[in-house]
Amino acid sequence: MKKHQILSVLLLLCMTMSAQFTQKPLPYAYNSLEPFIDAQTMEIHYSKHHAAYVKNLNAAIAGSSAEKMSMEQILAAVFKLSPAIRNNAGGHYNHEFFWSVLTPEKNTKPSSDLQKAIQESFTSLDALKEKINQAAISRFGSGWVWLYVNQQGKLEICTTPNQDNPLMDIAENKGTPVFAIDVWEHAYYLKYQNKRPDYLNAIWNVVNWNQVSANYAAALKKKK
């Protein structure tokens, strides 16, 4: 191996060792969620937008107090950290969470415990979908809509701007996320253009209710 090749390998190893956060492989193929989310959007969203958040997060934490923190610790302390850490940590967490609550598998359903909680808070699953869609439509500009377990252990819906989420110490509505929808335009513009309601209606066809149910169970356990 030539000298420049050895140096390149060593540099790559150093970069890998210093990178605290990495991007998990997408749990399905780019085209798996079609026709509801198109393959081109998924590829750009995952390989460009999400990947940039991971890269920029690792650059932002280098040499800072956040360098040794876990993601949960960073989100719980973003008020004290730089805007670059806040935005990129949120971007990484939010996207990884979002991929996990989508699936090409058909006919997944909420667990009995989650179904009961939905009925208690929103009367029905259809009513929940309608309230989430309305909240997402009402979110001005870029952001996210969340179904989360609040500090009293109840399900609630909120939206956050940019890449914020309910785990952050600066969040207006604090709690543990159970489900989320990305309403940044890059999540839907290639297929739906400015028709955010059409995107929101379509996405319910690819919700991974098995994962959402697991998130709900974990959130309740966390409250105990």
- Specify the CATH number for the domain of residue 118: 3.55.40.20
**Is it the case that residue 152 has pLDDT exceeding 70?**
yes
* pLDDT recorded at residue 19: 56
Mean pLDDT score, 151-169: 97
Mean pLDDT of the chain: 92
Q: Is 173 inside any structural domain?
A: yes
Q: Is 192 inside any structural domain?
A: yes
Single pTM value for the model = 0.90
Mean pLDDT score, 87-94: 98
Contact in structure between 196 and 183 (CB atoms under 8 Å)? yes
User: Domain of 136?
Assistant: 112-223
**Is it the case that residue 121 has pLDDT exceeding 50?**
yes
**Is it the case that residue 47 has pLDDT exceeding 50?**
yes
* pLDDT recorded at residue 35: 97
Mean pLDDT score, 53-74: 96
**Is it the case that residue 6 has pLDDT exceeding 70?**
no
* pLDDT recorded at residue 206: 98
**Is it the case that residue 3 has pLDDT exceeding 50?**
no
Mean pLDDT score, 47-76: 96
Q: Is 106 inside any structural domain?
A: no
Which among 117, 70, 91 is positioned nearest to 215, based on CA atoms?
117
**Is it the case that residue 196 has pLDDT exceeding 80?**
yes
**Is it the case that residue 224 has pLDDT exceeding 90?**
no
Q: Count up the domains in the chain and report the number.
A: 1
Q: Is 200 inside any structural domain?
A: yes
Mean pLDDT score, 183-191: 97
Q: Is 14 inside any structural domain?
A: no
Mean pLDDT score, 193-201: 97
* pLDDT recorded at residue 15: 41
Q: Is 145 inside any structural domain?
A: yes
**Is it the case that residue 76 has pLDDT exceeding 60?**
yes
Q: Is 204 inside any structural domain?
A: yes
Give the number of other Cβ atoms within 10 Å of residue 21's Cβ. 18
* pLDDT recorded at residue 91: 98
pLDDT bracket for residue 8 (50, 70, 90): very low
* pLDDT recorded at residue 223: 74
Mean pLDDT score, 74-96: 98
Q: Is 24 inside any structural domain?
A: no
